[in-house]
Structure formats: C-alpha cells, structure tokens
Chain A
Amino acid sequence: MTETNMHDYVTVFISDQLFGIPVLEVHDVLRGLNLTKIPLAPPEVAGALNLRGRIVTAIDVRKRLGLPEREEDENSMSIVVEHQGEPYSLLIDSVGEVLSLDLNELQPTPVTLNSCWKEISGGVYRLENKLLVLMQIEQLLNFADSSTIAA
C-alpha cells in the first residue's frame, strides 16, 4: 500500500446515507443559512446566500438526488465547493469527520442504482459499518440536462 493512494474525504450525511467529498474541494462548512429564494430557478437550486461578500448558489442535494424534503426543524448545514470558479453551497443534513481512504479499496458504483445516483457517484467505499458513496461535485452540479428531462 503506497501513500499516494490515500485520499482525504469529508463525510456528510444526507438522509442517513453517508457521502464522501474530497477534502480539497471543500472550502467551507456553514451552519444556519439565510437563503434568498430564486424564483423560476431549477428545483435543485435552493437559493442564494452571502458568504463573506460572495454570492453563493445553494444546491439542495436532496432534491438533486430525488430524496424527500427535509423536516423543517432540522438544523441545516452546508458545504461550500467551487465549480468553474463559482462557489456553490451544498445543503446537507450533517457533517461527519474527515476520513483517509485508499483509492485501491474504492468499489465501482453498483449498476442497479437509480440514474441520478449513478451519475454523481464516483464509487463506493465499504466502511466497517456503513457504505460511503463518493460524491462527484462536477456531476452533482451538472443538473441542467437531467432536470429538463425530469420535467
């Protein structure tokens, strides 16, 4: 096992599913958001928020993944990532820890997953008691096409 294959991931929970986001892509972790709704925007876009003077577009990951909406009272958190120079904030349920995982242990995405999950998944890690889905930010934010098909 070589050092170069170790990658760090921030783990997040969305609807009890564990996801991993490459730690280098994470710019910020936010709590308690003050979102401005954007009418007429795609449903996955939850709104916009002000992050230290930058306008960040918030993405509702649950909607993106076709999961049911979250209960109102749950404490919302989000992870800020950057894609093509634009900041996006991914609304998630909670943030776990940072794990260092070996790329060699990454399993391919099961083909039986539903199409939008398959799209965003970069593979699956078998952790001791849970499965971790590797989240591909680029695919996650590339929902313009899929949403129009859905609509």
Chain B
Amino acid sequence: MDDLLSEFLTETNENIGIVDASIVVLEQDPSDESQIDNIFRLVHTIKGTCGFLGLPRLEAVAHAGENVLGKIRDKELTVTADVVTLILEAMDAIKDILATIEETEEEPAGNDADLIARLNDVAFGEAPKEAAPEPEQEELPAGKVSEAELEAAFQAAEGPDEDLAEEELRPGEVSEAELEAAFQAAEGPDEIVESLELQQEEAPLEEKKPAAEKTTKESNIANQSIRVNVQMLENLMTMVSELVLTRNQLLQMVRGMDDNEFTVPLQRLSHVTTELQEGLMKTRMQPIGNAWSKLPRIVRDLSHELGKKIDLVMHGAETELDRQVLELIKDPLTHMVRNSADHGLEVPEDRKAAGKQQTGKIVLEAFHEGGHIIIKITDDGRGLNSEKIKQKVIENGLASEAELEGMSKQQIQNFIMRAGFSTAEKVTNVSGRGVGMDVVRSNIEKIGGTIALTSEEGKGSTFTIKIPLTLAIVSALIVECCGERFAVPQTSVVELVRASTNNTSDHTIEMINGSPVLRLRDHLLPLVHLNEIMRLETAADEVADKSEVKGSEEFIIVIQVASYVFGIVVDRVFDTEEIVVKPIAPILKNLSIFSGNTILGDGSVIMILDPNGIAAMSGDAVVNTDGASKEETKQAQVQDEKIALLVFRAGGKDPKAVPLSLVARLEEIDVGTIEEANGRKVVQYRGQLMPLTTIEDNIEIREEGRQPVLVFSDQDRTMGLLVEEIVDIVEDHLDVEMLSERDGYVGSAVIREKATDIIDVGYCLSKCFGSWFGDTETRPFGHNGEKQKVLLVDDSPFFRNMLVPLLKTAGYDVSTAENGAEALKKRDIGETFDIIVSDIEMPEMDGFTFAEEIKGDDRWNETPIVALSSHTTPGDFDRGRAVGFSDYIAKFDRDSLMSALSQTLKESGSAK
C-alpha cells in the first residue's frame, strides 16, 4: 500500500478516536472552547488530507462535519444531543469508509448525500427539510442522480453499489428491513430526520453494512508498524547508558591485566553494547526528510487544484531530528507549506503581471544553528498585506484600531498566528478556516520552539521555526572553568584560540574599561569569562589563588550565535564527545545559560551551555531577536548617539577633533624623515610615499624629534595630517553647532565643554590628492563622464557636511535632505537621482519607512538606495534588504560607501 495512504489511515483512525472521545466531553460541557477547537482542527486535518489523497467522498463528509463544528466554534450553534449525534454519525461514516479503503485501497462507491444534507441543515440552519435537499443536489452532483433512483434501485438491491463485490452485497440484501430497524434502535430517535429523509437514509445504510463487517477484521495496517511509547524508548536508552558505563568500568579493570580469559568475551560485550546503543539512538533520530517526503506530492496536487505553478525546493533533508520532535512538527510543516501554496503564491497571471517568474517557489530549509534546529519555509509569493491583516484583526475583534496604530509592521503580521484568523477572502478547500497558523504556533511552542515570520508585500514571506535541541544528540566540546566541566554544543563553536594575558603567545587579551577583548585577525572579539558569567569562585581565597595562576594561559572558545561572534574564556579545553541532551530539572528551567545536561562517558553529570543564553547574558543587544524591543533600543540609541572623537591640537590653542572612525592610524614620525617632493612634504611610509599636510599653515613643525601624525586612508592611498599634539579620545555627542566658512573645517562643536573645531577629512584628502580622484575606481560609474546624481538623506548636519565634500570630490553631484519626508518632497517636485544614500535613524520618517515609500511608488522605485547607519546589526541588515535597500553600510566606512556607490550604480546602470 502507498506509504502516504497507510500513514493517513493510521493517523485518521487515531484522530477520529480522539474526536469521538472529545465530542462526548463537549456534550457534557459545551462551554469548553479548547475542546471544540481541538475537534475542529482534527476534522479539518482529516478533510484536508482527504483532498490531497483524492478521496472525494470522505472529504465531502468531513467537510460537512467541519461546517457544523465551525458553527459551534463560532458560537452560532449550540451543542445539543442532536448535533452531537449527527457529528458522531459523520465520524462513523468516515470510519466505515476508512475501513473499506484499508481493504481495497479505494474509496467505496456511493455517496453520503443524506448525511451531508442533514449536516448542512444543521450548519446553515435551513430548517425546512423539504427545501434542504434542493441546494444540496446542486452542490453534490452525485446526489442529483441518485436521490430518486437510489431509492428505486435500492429496493432491487442493485444500483450504485455495483462496484462492491457481490457477496458483500448479499448480506445487505437480506437484512435490509432488519437493518433499518436495528439502525433506528441503535442510533436512537433521529429527531432531525423527517420521514421523507428516512427513506434516503437507506443508501448510506446499505454501504455501511458491508463496511461494518470489515472493521471487525484485524486491521492490517496496524501490524506493519508498531507505535512504541517514547517513554519506553527513553527507558531503554537509560538502561543502555547504564550498560555502557558498566562496560567502561569493566574495560578499565581488565586493561591493567595481561591477557586473561575475560578479554575476548569483554570485547564481544563491548561491540554488542556499542551496536545496541547506536541502534537505539537510530530509533529516536530521523532525518527531517522523512517529514518532508510527502510534501512534493501535496504540492503537486495543490498546484493542480489551485492552478498554480509551484516549485518546491528542499535543502538539508538529512538534518537529524529527534523522532518525537519530528512527529510534532510534521503537521505544522505540512500546514505551512499548504499555506504558502494557497495564500502565499499567486496564480501565474498575477505573477507575470508582477514581473515575476510564472512558477512560484517554495523553499524548505533545515539546519543546525547555535544548538537549535532551524527550519525555514520561504515563498516568493505576494507576501503579507498589513492592511488586510489590520482589517481582519479589527473585524475579528482581536485588537482595536487604536492598538493597531501603535504596532509595528512585524507585530501586525504576527496576528496571522493568532487563533481565529485567516486572510484568505474566500474559504477554500485547501486552507482558510482560521486553523493553520495558530495551530502551527501552538504545536511548535509545545516543544519549546519559536516561530518567526518576515514578510515583504509583493516579494514573499519567510517563516523561521527554531526548535531547541532538547532530546537531540549533539557533538559537544567539553571545557573546564574553575574546576567545573561544561559542554558547549560543537555546532556553535567556530574556533579555539589560546591566549595569554602576559604577551607569551600570539594572542593577548586586552582590556577596554575592564572589558576583555581579543584581536583576532582583523576583528576585535568581545570576550566573556565563563567564571564571571557563572559567578564561580566566589570565595575570596579562591580568587586570590586564581589570580596568581591565571594570566599565564587561557583558552578562548569563539562562538557564533546567529551572526554575533564572541569569545568565551575558559581554563581548559578537553575533548569533544557525542552527548544525548537531557532536559534540565524543572526547578532550574529559568537558567537560560543551560540548554540541558547530560551524562558523560565516565558517568559524571555535566551541564550543557546554551550559547544563546550566554550571548544574551553578555549583554549584547545584537542577539535580541525580539523585533519590538529592538525597535525600542534603537529609538533610545538615536537620542543617545555618541561618537568617538579624536581630540588634538594643531595650530593655535583651540582643540580640534575628528571622528575616530575616520582615522586609519596614529603615528609618530621622525621629523628627520620628512622629505620634499613635488613641492610637498612627504614621508616614506610602509614602502610608499605618503603626502603630509597641515590644516593651517602656522602649525609648528618641530625641528627635531618626533611629530604626531594622523593617518587617513582612502583605498590604497594614505595621507598624513601633521598635528602638534594628540590630546585624547573622547566619546561625546557630536552636535555641530556652527558651520564653518573656512576650508578644511566642518564646523564647531562643544566637546568636553570646550569649543572644538571639527576638521573636514574630505578636504584634507582632496588637498593632498586633488585631481587624482578622477582616475580611481571610485569614480562613479557614468555615461560619458556625466555626473551621477546622489541624494544624501541624513538628519545629522555633521554627516551631511562630512559626506557632501567627500562625494563631491569623488565626482558625484550631491543633493541633501534632512529626513525621509523632505526627500520625498524632492520627489514630488519631480527631481530624479541616480542613487539615494539614506541614514536609517532619522526623525519624522526613518530609513526603512522611507525606502518602503520609495519602492511603493513608481517614480523613484528604480532608484537604488544604499543604507547608511551607525548601528549595523544583522537584523537591521536583513530588514534593510527586505525593504529594498541595495546595500547596507556602516556610517563611517567611507571605503565601503564609495565602492558600494559605484558598484550599485554599475549594477543598476547595466540593468537599464
């Protein structure tokens, strides 16, 4: 039998059992909402699956049953004994059909028009019984033919049941009258059924008879596989672990002795134990591909049914998941793929109109990340429509309009995962009865996972499911800190670095205001000491002890959580070991730094560190995945934006300053090495000639000794700015209060309560290189030397002043705007630009909204936008990309800005 079918049978039989039981409970307590929700979902699942498997008859019954249940759920129908009886009758009908399917692999012929009609009567409140069959006949073509004929045909014991084997028919023939009586007696008085309908009932009854006989036979499917309680496997697992430990002890004992009689049997025992352990592990672990295996077919059927072209791509099918987890996510996954196909993807015509390929794409991905299993479902369909969601939210009373006003797009989109929500305007066969995303979410949260969604209207949606590795088997690195051992999931470990605090090895831990950092190649790696996080070695004498020992050598585990990389300092690193993750005791559940614990080969218990938890504890907002709170912190940062400034003196007593990020290096050069070339001061620096310049002419250059120089670098050119004295590096708010008229200065600001001139690095660069700029690769990509027009949107006058000369020198035609709203005004008056460079954090209209505005209007939607931000977090980056930014650059990274500009222009130019 078809795998799909047999699985369906097992599953549906189970589900119907649950429905049977639940509905009886519901009858006793009709106010129990969770009960009706549960029943409704199960029936919905049955209906849905029937549709894919091509079981129209089953589907019709389930659909009608679902209608009734839906009404009950929406409180339009009260639960009465009659309704319950009717639903149970529908369940029985389903059961009978299932039994036949199990035997013949085909749906029995015939129809359930009567049952369905009665179900629909209840559902749609069509009280007059005479009227009811009329619309019914149109809905169900089979009913039209059979209703009258059936009755006649039935008397002759022939008709629609011809497909069934003759001998199966015979008992029905004989017992017709008795059966009817028996049926009525058994089912109790069918008050809903009028005498007119009683006659119709003979048809389903007839079918029921042979089917009922079959159910008495042993269910074949049940014999093919055994469902074992996971607890039993767990117990077995425990026992095997115990066996392994005992074996290890034995091996330890025998190792000391020479050849003896135990050696051989022990070896054998060892082998068997290992195999047993592996076998057991295997029973629990399954590649996620198993849960995906039926998706291609479902998608194929769907694409036929919906008239859409769908391409299903699956990556990472081999990712192993614990069986229990797999079972739990199987249904949600199917739901989501179904949703993507039904709601997400457009019909080919719409896709074509939107300029997309006709074939829609659904991408399924699974991988391990930071000790979690991530499953992503991406479609390139129409995305989520925030406005529609809002409407629906208000309609369904999930939130008020005022509440919605204050919500971010993300929050609004998340409404689709609330119970009783569905965006599809018409209820289709496939999905859209308000079950779906809420079921998905509750199922995933049940296993401690999370689900997140990002969606861009017109471009598609991505659902990211994150499941903790509880129950999964991982390879872990065993480390020691203060005499305690911990396991770190290998999946999040990037590398190991040995470092010292006293310059004895290549890597040295340095301190910035007490926070340890490490120079790792071209990055600065933030470090956390495990003992500090764990608050180990609290006793004072131990601290004293350690401080002497410490410093010689330390190990740094470089950890990556999402895109945040940091180092954990530990005392020792041992081996890696395959471990079975066990959940930690409930009373310790709130310790976010542990993802579980396990028993090592030597029998000791060890805690497993959760890199996510540690990252969160190390106080980095980067790992904050919650969109809402990130918004808030970002808001706070806007108001509190501090910039590191290098304060120096050059010409006169007044301090001057330059943003530290613009300075490549600080050097001190021997004045003796300053030479003259081409009428300019130059110095040989790193094998090249570096031109030197001064801000003012009156700067005093020492006769001898060393002179401090600020080195600015632009691509492969460097220049030095001779200064008199480097005073300090301060972090302060940079508020340019007076704009400068003089060349070489941006303006003046108050820094450390002193008026300070801010120098214009762009000016210095152009002073040194001037005409050179024309020839570099940063030259804007243009047509026949025509100047490319750049619109620079930034709220800070300082950056506008800083960047404008820079861009101008690089050959762009620059216009500026203070914020998004102002920039849009330029659009309204008909200005056009080749490229827009926009800040993200701005008052009135931020960069994201700005980009959305631009992309949502056809005047500027062709214009590429480059985002400029002083806070680049991966989340921002993704968001930026999603709203339509072509690139995302850190504010002070001029090199990247230049190359991004020319690169983006080049791309958009060639695209035209």
Contact of B591 among A41, A86, A141 (CB under 8 A): A41
Among A53-61, A71-79, A96-104, A124-132, the stretch that binds chain B is A53-61
B599 interface residue per 8 A CB criterion: yes
User: Which positions 468-511 of chain B face chain A at CB distance < 8 Å?
Assistant: 484-485
Among B87-95, B239-247, B410-418, the stretch that binds chain A is B239-247
- Point out residues on A near B: beta carbons under 8 Å: 34, 36-42, 45, 47-50, 52-55, 57, 84, 86, 88, 141, 143-144
Contact of B242 among A34, A47, A52 (CB under 8 A): A52
Q: Is the CB of B604 within 8 A of A36?
A: yes
Q: Is the CB of A48 within 8 A of B597?
A: yes
A37 cross-chain contacts in B, Cβ below 8 A: 484
A139 to chain B, nearest CB (A): 13
Q: Is the CB of B588 within 8 A of A39?
A: no
B578 to chain A, nearest CB (A): 16
Beta-carbon nearest neighbor of A85 in chain B? B586
Give me 8 other A-B pairs in contact (C-beta within 8 A), A37-B484, A41-B591, A48-B585 excluded: A38-B591, A40-B591, A45-B588, A50-B603, A55-B582, A57-B587, A86-B585, A86-B586
A141 cross-chain contacts in B, Cβ below 8 A: 587
User: Which positions 561-608 of chain B face chain A at CB distance < 8 Å?
Assistant: 582, 584-588, 591, 593-594, 597-599, 603-607
A117 to chain B, nearest CB (A): 20
A41 cross-chain contacts in B, Cβ below 8 A: 588, 591
Q: Is the CB of A84 within 8 A of B238?
A: no
B233 interface residue per 8 A CB criterion: no
Closest 8 pairs (CB-CB, A-B): A39-B534, A53-B238, A57-B585, A53-B241, A36-B605, A48-B605, A53-B242, A50-B599
B536 interface residue per 8 A CB criterion: yes
**Docked CA distance A54–B242 (Å):** 9
Q: Could you say which interface size class chain B belongs to?
A: 20 to 34
B536 cross-chain contacts in A, Cβ below 8 A: 39
A99 to chain B, nearest CB (A): 29
Q: A36-B604, A53-B242 given as contacts; is B484 within 8 A of A42 (CB)?
A: no
B255 interface residue per 8 A CB criterion: no
Q: A34-B604, A55-B599 given as contacts; is B586 within 8 A of A84 (CB)?
A: yes
In the assembled complex, 25 residue pairs joining A and B whose CB atoms fall closer than 8 Å, in A order, are A34-B603, A34-B604, A36-B485, A36-B606, A36-B607, A38-B594, A39-B535, A39-B536, A40-B535, A41-B591, A42-B587, A42-B588, A45-B587, A50-B603, A52-B242, A53-B239, A53-B241, A53-B242, A53-B245, A53-B599, A54-B238, A55-B584, A57-B588, A143-B587, A144-B587
Beta-carbon nearest neighbor of B534 in chain A? A39
**Docked CA distance A10–B245 (Å):** 30
B569 to chain A, nearest CB (A): 15
A36 cross-chain contacts in B, Cβ below 8 A: 484-485, 597, 604-607
Q: Is the CB of B604 within 8 A of A38?
A: no
Beta-carbon nearest neighbor of B586 in chain A? A86
B607 cross-chain contacts in A, Cβ below 8 A: 36, 38-39, 48
Contact of A52 among B238, B585, B597, B604 (CB under 8 A): B238
B597 cross-chain contacts in A, Cβ below 8 A: 36, 48, 55
Q: Indicate with 1 or 0, residue by residue over B170-204, a CB within 8 angstroms of chain A CB atoms.
A: 00000000000000000000000000000000000
> From DSSP, what is the main secondary structure of chain A's interface residues?
mixed
Q: Which of A36, A57, A143 has the most CB of B within 10 A?
A: A36
B582 cross-chain contacts in A, Cβ below 8 A: 55
Q: Is the CB of A38 within 8 A of B587?
A: no
**Docked CA distance A40–B594 (Å):** 10
Beta-carbon nearest neighbor of A86 in chain B? B585
A52 cross-chain contacts in B, Cβ below 8 A: 238, 242
B617 to chain A, nearest CB (A): 9
Q: Which of B485, B534, B587, B607 has the most CB of A within 10 A?
A: B587
Beta-carbon nearest neighbor of A35 in chain B? B605
A34 cross-chain contacts in B, Cβ below 8 A: 603-604
A89 to chain B, nearest CB (A): 11
**Docked CA distance A57–B239 (Å):** 19
A48 cross-chain contacts in B, Cβ below 8 A: 585, 597, 605, 607
Q: A86-B586, A144-B587 given as contacts; is B603 within 8 A of A40 (CB)?
A: no
A49 to chain B, nearest CB (A): 6
B485 cross-chain contacts in A, Cβ below 8 A: 36
B880 to chain A, nearest CB (A): 37
Beta-carbon nearest neighbor of A49 in chain B? B605
**Docked CA distance A38–B238 (Å):** 22
A57 cross-chain contacts in B, Cβ below 8 A: 585, 587-588
B241 cross-chain contacts in A, Cβ below 8 A: 53
Q: Which of A36, A48, A53, A84 has the most CB of B within 10 A?
A: A53
**Docked CA distance A144–B591 (Å):** 13
B588 cross-chain contacts in A, Cβ below 8 A: 38, 41-42, 45, 57
**Docked CA distance A18–B13 (Å):** 56
**Docked CA distance A143–B588 (Å):** 11
A84 cross-chain contacts in B, Cβ below 8 A: 586
Q: Is the CB of B242 within 8 A of A40?
A: no
Beta-carbon nearest neighbor of B238 in chain A? A53
A54 cross-chain contacts in B, Cβ below 8 A: 238
**Docked CA distance A29–B647 (Å):** 70
Beta-carbon nearest neighbor of B607 in chain A? A38
**Docked CA distance A123–B582 (Å):** 37
**Docked CA distance A144–B587 (Å):** 7
Beta-carbon nearest neighbor of B486 in chain A? A39
**Docked CA distance A82–B607 (Å):** 21
B488 to chain A, nearest CB (A): 14
Q: Which of B584, B585, B586, B604 has the most CB of A within 10 A?
A: B585
A101 to chain B, nearest CB (A): 30
**Docked CA distance A40–B607 (Å):** 12
**Docked CA distance A55–B245 (Å):** 14
A61 to chain B, nearest CB (A): 14
B571 to chain A, nearest CB (A): 14
**Docked CA distance A144–B605 (Å):** 23
Q: Which of A39, A45, A88 has the most CB of B within 10 A?
A: A39
Beta-carbon nearest neighbor of B237 in chain A? A53
B586 cross-chain contacts in A, Cβ below 8 A: 84, 86
Beta-carbon nearest neighbor of A142 in chain B? B587
Q: A53-B238, A53-B241 given as contacts; is B604 within 8 A of A40 (CB)?
A: no
Beta-carbon nearest neighbor of B606 in chain A? A36
A81 to chain B, nearest CB (A): 13
B281 to chain A, nearest CB (A): 14
B66 to chain A, nearest CB (A): 37
Beta-carbon nearest neighbor of B244 in chain A? A53
**Docked CA distance A55–B607 (Å):** 11
B318 to chain A, nearest CB (A): 29
B296 to chain A, nearest CB (A): 40
B604 cross-chain contacts in A, Cβ below 8 A: 34, 36, 50
**Docked CA distance A40–B614 (Å):** 12
**Docked CA distance A45–B597 (Å):** 15
A49 cross-chain contacts in B, Cβ below 8 A: 605
A53 cross-chain contacts in B, Cβ below 8 A: 238-239, 241-242, 245, 599
A39 cross-chain contacts in B, Cβ below 8 A: 484, 534-536, 607
A55 cross-chain contacts in B, Cβ below 8 A: 582, 584-585, 597-599, 605
**Docked CA distance A36–B485 (Å):** 8
Beta-carbon nearest neighbor of A84 in chain B? B586
**Docked CA distance A94–B598 (Å):** 28
Q: Is the CB of A40 within 8 A of B593?
A: yes
B407 to chain A, nearest CB (A): 33
**Docked CA distance A143–B242 (Å):** 31
**Docked CA distance A54–B604 (Å):** 11
A38 cross-chain contacts in B, Cβ below 8 A: 588, 591, 594, 607
B242 cross-chain contacts in A, Cβ below 8 A: 52-53
Contact of B534 among A40, A50, A143 (CB under 8 A): A40
Beta-carbon nearest neighbor of B592 in chain A? A40
Beta-carbon nearest neighbor of A147 in chain B? B587
B236 to chain A, nearest CB (A): 11
Q: Which of A38, A45, A49, A54 has the most CB of B within 10 A?
A: A38
**Docked CA distance A47–B604 (Å):** 12
